[in-house]
Amino acid sequence: MSMRFQDLKNARLRLGWGQAEVAERLGVSQTYVHMLEQGKRRLTPELTRRLALVYQMSPVELPITAGFRPSEVDAQWLAESLAKLDYPGFAYLRSRVAKKNPGEVLLIALAQDRLEARLAEALPWLLFRYSEMDVDWLAEQARTHNLQNRLGFVTGLAVRLSKRDATNAHTTAVLTRLESLLDHSRLVHEDAFPRPPKNNAEREWLTVNRPPEAAHWNLLTDLRPEHLQYAG
């Protein structure tokens, strides 16, 4: 989702703040805050980020890094980024990284050649927790970076999590739509997630024992819904 000018006043009122208090927190004038709420000042990426943090908005409002491309990162960075997004599995971590849009973190994690199991298990939760992410952007980026099979599989796991509770009907519908978007561009070549098999014996075992969803997405993996500790 992208921040809109009309969201700013609503966010301020939700917190019970006046324009003067917002101005002080942002380090700008009250007049500037008023003009922002009227749509008379441009929302730059840096300003959007500051507003999202000050107004305690959902991380989906944080701007995506300009020219975003999933890069190679270490496991600690991903763990701290997930902790920053309130993933319960890493609640014990003291995160020193800047909070990022969950869609960005998701795609970066999926792009890693090798991903620790504890990190892979967090990704369905991330989709479930932040299902208001821009699914069209996610699908487009996944296709651009050849991640549609990995994202499709993880989205399927998130759908399974969501269906555990009938009150999640809207979330289930959103995630199912993302799964459908990705299915239309499913890649035929075989991939592995969250890491390549160690040897031919493991490859053969995964080929036989992988769940049907993994076979559909041409992935070698044994990750299943029962491995996920957190449903939301």
Residue spans of the domains in the chain: they are: 5-57, 75-227
pLDDT tens per residue, range 207-226: 999 999 999 999 999 999 88
Residues for the chain: how many in total? Answer: 232
pLDDT tens per residue, range 48-72: 888 888 888 899 989 898 889 999 9
pLDDT of residue 185: 95
Cα–Cα distances in angstroms (integers) from residue 199 to residues 91, 99, 217, in the given order: 34, 37, 21
Cis bond before residue 194 (omega within 30° of 0): yes
Q: What percent of the chain has pLDDT over 70?
A: 98
**115: Cα within 13 Å, side-chain hemisphere:** 24
pLDDT of residue 119: 97
Mean pLDDT of the 177-199 span: 96
- pTM summary value: 0.87
For domain 5-57, is the CATH number 1.10.260.40?
A: yes
Lowest pLDDT segment from 17-26, 48-57, 106-115, 123-132 = 48-57
DSSP state of 191: E
Q: Which tokens in the block code for residue 222?
A: 């044994």
Mean pLDDT of the 149-162 span: 96
Positive or negative, the CA dihedral 77, 80, 153, 181 is: negative
pLDDT tens per residue, range 6-46: 788 888 998 999 999 999 999 899 999 999 999 898 888 88
pLDDT of residue 219: 97
pLDDT of residue 2: 64
